Amino acid sequence: MQDSPENGPTGRPEKPDDRHRVFWIYVLILGAGIVFFFLGGLLMRNPNLPSYLYSRVTSWLQNENNPSSSRRLPPPPKTAQDYLELTHYDVRVLPPDQRGVALALADAIGNAAAVQDRLTALEQNVRNDLPTLKSANALSAYAKMKPAAAALLQAANQQKVFFQNLETKLTQQFERSGLHEDLAKQIAALFYERTPGQKVVDQADRSEKLASELLAIANLLSETPNKWHASSDGTISSQDKKLEEEYREHQQALMAAIAAVSSER
Summarised one tens digit per residue, pLDDT across range 65-93 is: 555 445 678 889 999 999 999 999 998 89
Alpha helices in the chain (DSSP H): 16-43, 49-65, 67-70, 80-84, 96-129, 138-176, 181-193, 198-223, 241-263
The mean-pLDDT minimum among 73-77, 137-141, 253-257 falls in 73-77
State the Cα–Cα distance between residues 101 and 181, nearest whole angstrom.
13
State the Cα–Cα distance between residues 29 and 24, nearest whole angstrom.
9
State the Cα–Cα distance between residues 142 and 153, nearest whole angstrom.
15
Q: What is the pLDDT averaged over residues 93-113? A: 94
| Pairing outcome for strands 236-237 and 229-230 | antiparallel
Beta bridge partners of 237: 229
State the Cα–Cα distance between residues 57 and 77, nearest whole angstrom.
25
- The residues, ordered by sequence, that sit 6+ positions from 104 with a Cβ below 8 Å of its Cβ are 170, 173, 174, 177
pLDDT of res. 33: 56
- The 10s digit of each residue's pLDDT in 140-181 is 999 999 999 999 999 999 999 999 999 999 999 999 999 999
pLDDT of res. 118: 97
The length of the chain, given as a count of residues: 265
pLDDT of res. 45: 44
Residue type, 185: K
- The 10s digit of each residue's pLDDT in 29-72 is 666 655 554 554 444 444 444 444 445 545 544 555 555 445 67
Mean pLDDT for the chain? 84
pLDDT of res. 70: 53
